[in-house]
Amino acid sequence: MTHQTIVIRDAQPSDTDAVREVLENAYAEYEQLLSRERWEAYKENIANSLIDANVKAHLLAEAEGTLLGSVFLYHSSDAAYGLPELNIHAPIMRLLAVTRQARGQGIATALIAETIERSRTWGADTLYLHTSDVMQSAVQLYERLGFERADDKDIHKGDSVVKSYRLSLVEADRTIGGKR
């Protein structure tokens, strides 16, 4: 699948089954790393994202008609998580997923670049995301692209912490080759 032209586009209702497959493929590696109850809750969260009316944009990456990646954008912490108390009134990127077979081809970076552009068109100057330490390759990508820890926006679930990261969309020009 190398050297293919990657197209980033908005998801359509007819994409739901293919997106579910991408998400299941991308996140299956974490099943063994999470407790059974956390994994089941995570799978339910993923399934619910496919029908979530609070999604502001759902972007897909495809090549030659094959869906390779997906990302969801929300306009606030209330819309993304039902947590208005996080007080995030800026776009939040969730469930960035690239199939295991298509990793290493810049697909995640292309999806993130498009989330940055969308966020800018909405007038935002910051983009947020939440992740956990178990997703080390994702954390490394986010940090390489200029996302910085925003521990004041972490989500605490019992004894676990879902870590928050933020990206200044002005700074993103330098780290991701922004179009401004």
pLDDT above 70: percentage of residues in the chain: 94
Q: State if pTM tops 0.85.
A: yes
1 assigned to some structural domain: no
- 41 falls in which pLDDT band (50, 70, 90)? confident
Which tens digit of pLDDT belongs to each residue from 69-117?
999 999 999 999 999 999 999 999 999 999 989 999 999 999 999 999 9
User: Mapping DSSP to helix (H, G, I), strand (E, B) and coil, where does residue 140 land?
Assistant: helix
How many CA atoms are closer than 13 Å to the CA of 174, on its beta-carbon side?
7
**Residue 23 lies inside a defined structural domain of this protein:** yes
- Tell me the pLDDT tens digit for each residue of 155-165: 988 778 899 99
**How would residue 34 be classed by pLDDT, with cut points 50, 70 and 90?**
confident
User: Does residue 63 sit within a domain?
Assistant: yes
Tally of domains within the chain: 1
Name the residue range of residue 114's domain: 7-176
The CATH number of whichever domain residue 136 belongs to comes to: 3.40.630.30
Q: Is residue 155 included in any domain, yes or no? A: yes
Return d(Cα 10, Cα 7) in angstroms, integer.
10
Residue 148 maps to a domain: yes
2 falls within a domain: no
